A and B are shown apart, each in its own frame.
Chain A
Amino acid sequence: MTTSAPSRKKPATTVPAPRKPVNWRRVGAWALVAVAVAVTIAPFLWMLRTALSSNASLASNASNLLPADFSLGAFKRVLGLQSPEEAIAEGGSGAAINFWLYLRNSVIFATVTTAGQVFFSAMAAYAFSRLRWPGRNVVFGLFLATMMVPPIFTALPNFLMIKNLGLLNTFAGLALPFLFMTPFAIFFLRQFFLSMSREVEEAAMLDGAKHVRIFFQIVLPNAAAPLATLALLTFIGQWNEYFWPLLVGQDESVRVLTVGLGVFKSQSPQGAPDWSGLMAATLIAALPVLLLFIAFGKRVVNSIGFSGIK
């Protein structure tokens, strides 16, 4: 719970295994690992396989492991590059999904909330870890306590407030509840700030530097790594957020991808859902997270320890 920077101790083999015969225990263990990885990865490959299939041919090739009647039509359809006639010929529903708009909305929503939340939480974490003021621990305790409050509990009154402010179906309404803080972000950064050496800060203070300057020029740069990790986790979380945008962002103009995908699914006519279109859409929607993960996977993996408990 206390470590925010993961220690990368190489764990020595804990249970020394007998050396002489073929170690069946080890072979079995690796087989289990292989099964776990396969079970985890295979559905994603199936998603790709379906997205590259022609929807009309899926039914007759349900169990073929390769794409059925290989086609990029599903991607074209989702991205609006296909005329309705072509789409229907390929087994699409013909109903347009405004994918680019939803993509833009998701980018705006996730970026703005991540930037605001991480920055404001860092400021608060500085106040909780470096400044002395009466009531500090009480306020921090209150902040922490809200980690226990289930989101649905505050979501209903928050919806009413956003509605009364006339901010339904606006980016402001979408972003405001996430923009300023989460208890987790403050907790995470405060733990890190507490573990940072203060020598440089104290020297700067003797030189007459003010807190604002120390925060921007010393603390933030020194905490770049945990800030990046937090931003990454927050961005992924916001990109995947469904409940709140479902409540306040139903309108096309601010609809994010997760909500859009739900609508796309229910648009499919009862008889023949556009499975390849749906899988192409989910694949593109998951792409930013997959790319981030490929680029920074190690950081994400290592950040999940006790501090990663959300």
Chain B
Amino acid sequence: MSRRAIPGLGAAATTDLPVLKPFDPSGRTAHDPLLISRFLARLKWWHFAVFALVLLLWPMVAYAQSRYSYGDAFEALVRWIPFVVVDGFFFNIQISFFSMAIGTVAGVFLGLMQISPLTAIRLPAIVITQLFRNSPWLVLLFIVLLAFPFEIVIGDVILPFPAWVKAVIGLSLPIMANISEVVRGAVQSVPSGQWEAAESLAFSRRQTLFEIILPQCFKRMIPPWMNWYAILTMATPLCSILGVEEMINLSRQAIEAEDNHPELLVPFYGFALLLFFAYCYPIARWTISLERKYAVKL
């Protein structure tokens, strides 16, 4: 069935009066909270293949330009892969898990504080949320790294406070603030009629929130929550600047151990890129499919 032609848009206009055309009918310029996931999910499998191909073609193009060939570089990469993946990438994932866990728990509390009727609770929560949401992640990481001691001494007990734990805390701050906004947004997306119906049935505010409103929000929070997890995972290499021995740091160490040949850069960092892509791409696809499934039907 063909779509009906709209005069002035799909067919000749039937009036010479000025016609207001629909603005941005596909909603493409509107702010999109799932931008990253949508971008990733829109990639096709062959984008992946082309990218891998470019990485493989590189050595052939540059072959014989130096004594240390790309062949040698790839050999070096293959030798280092177990180290870089097991000690490095898995550590990134570990950092992302801990940051996400802390950020989610703190963010849910902060988000619920943001919708409190008490100004004394709501206002600080809004300030904290906006502060950490709008700060550069790297700056937060540096502040946490430098502000906390490297060990905590309680009497005779010395608790080490390693850099990676600080990195977890530093990364969980912006996650906390963004999850706080996700919770607030989800609660406010529930129609006010639900609050009124619960109120008129003599539910207290707390009961209304926990029995009626939050159960309806839960599904709506999952896609943006996963979106933030993907963003967080892609941000974990920031920790390398703080000296945390995660994948990017270990890759650099491996390159140094291989005498710093410039030919090593593309294989090693390209491999890291591929690995992060391979990890985040399925999450993004899943996020977008869940978002479609849970789309609010009014």
Q: Is B a genuine binding partner of A? A: no
A residues bordering B, Cβ < 8 Å?
Answer: none
